[in-house]
Amino acid sequence: MKLNVGGIDRILRIVAGLALIAWALMGGPVWAWIGVVPLGTGLVGFCPLYPLLGLNTCPMKKE
């Protein structure tokens, strides 16, 4: 599993995921639990949809 989510993308996913989960916990709609998806992909650094779309926001490491 190669990292494909990086930088600002990860931060936005984590913040959005936490916000949706908090909303669900405070009595929001059931669909707000979808926040676990961006939270998980942000924490892990891999989005399974990105390879299918040919996307990669993780900067290339120079060796």
Q: Residue 34: which domain range?
A: 8-52
Residue 3 falls inside a structural domain: no
Task: Enter the pTM of the model.
Answer: 0.89
CB 32 within 8 A of CB 23: yes
Residue 59 falls inside a structural domain: no
Neighbours of 5 (CB within 10 A): 21
Interval 5-58: pLDDT, tens: 999 999 999 999 999 999 999 999 999 999 999 999 999 999 999 999 999 999
DSSP per residue over 11-35, as a string? HHHHHHHHHHHHHHHTT--GGGGGG
Residue 38 falls inside a structural domain: yes
Residue 31 falls inside a structural domain: yes
Amino acid at 7: G
CB 32 within 8 A of CB 24: yes
* Count of structural domains within the chain: 1
Residue 61 falls inside a structural domain: no
Residue 17 falls inside a structural domain: yes
Residue 60 falls inside a structural domain: no
Residue 40 falls inside a structural domain: yes
